[in-house]
Amino acid sequence: MPQQARSRASYERMLTAAEKLMVKRGNDDFTLTEVAKVGKVSIGSIYLRFDSKDDLVRAVHSRVLAQIGAEQDAMMQQIRESAVTLDAFSRQFVDAYAELLKRFSPVLRPIMFRAIYDESISAIGKSSAENLVREAEGQLMRFSGEFGREDHARLVSNVIRMIYYTLARFLGLGSSPEAANQGNWDELKEDLAIMCPAFLRATG
């Protein structure tokens, strides 16, 4: 990250321009010349900051995932302070997490496609996801006295993953973009919020 304000502004325009192109095309199949045009920066200034387009793309991914991570942390802190029952946690977590994923889904799609073959992007994304899973599982454990079975760690792990996989499929994240937007978004959130406590309380 450049230290001088003017250089930082130019750097941010490069990242923002590349992100806009990723969202528009659904992938990172664009040229640095296009980035320069959209970001109103010179091609030379891009090469001063990045050795290649891959480096620029990774910088965009890192910035987006950092934004998501910060929002996830704030989201989980708010839920921890306000959700005092299992049902309240489920409603608040499903709604907040669903809307966060939905808001970032246009740029997450190309990021996740890139992560399939780019190990550095995959590692950053995996770390961000694992942080959320650990926090959500920890919060769910506050209500373990209501669980219907003894393997609490397995139960909370599975319920968080069921929430993510269901939302990700609806939003077309990952390997099934053709399945996006099948059904009613609000009904899906409501049903997930009902199903998760029921799953945790089930006695088998």
The residues, any chain, with a CB within 8 Å of residue 110's CB and separated by 6 or more, are 22, 23, 25, 26, 27, 28
Predicted pLDDT at 111: 87
Predicted pLDDT at 7: 79
Tell me where in the chain the CATH 1.10.357.10 domain(s) lie: 62-201
CATH superfamily, region 62-201? Tetracycline Repressor, domain 2 (1.10.357.10)
Half-sphere exposure in the Cβ direction for 134 (13 Å, CA):
8
User: Is the pTM for the entire model greater than 0.85?
Assistant: yes
Please check the confidence at residue 137 and state whether its pLDDT lies above 90: yes
Predicted pLDDT at 116: 78
Query: For 87-116, what is the mean pLDDT?
Result: 92
Q: Which of 114, 77, 111, 115 is nearest to 96 (CA)?
A: 77
Measured CA to CA, the distance from residue 140 to residue 110 in angstroms comes to 31
Judged by DSSP in three states, 186 sits in helix
Query: For 62-81, what is the mean pLDDT?
Result: 94
What CATH number was assigned to the domain covering residues 1-50? 1.10.10.60
Tell me where in the chain the CATH 1.10.10.60 domain(s) lie: 1-50
Judged by DSSP in three states, 89 sits in helix
In this predicted model, which residue has the larger pLDDT, 113 or 134? 134
Q: Which of 95-109, 112-126, 170-184 has the lowest mean pLDDT?
A: 170-184
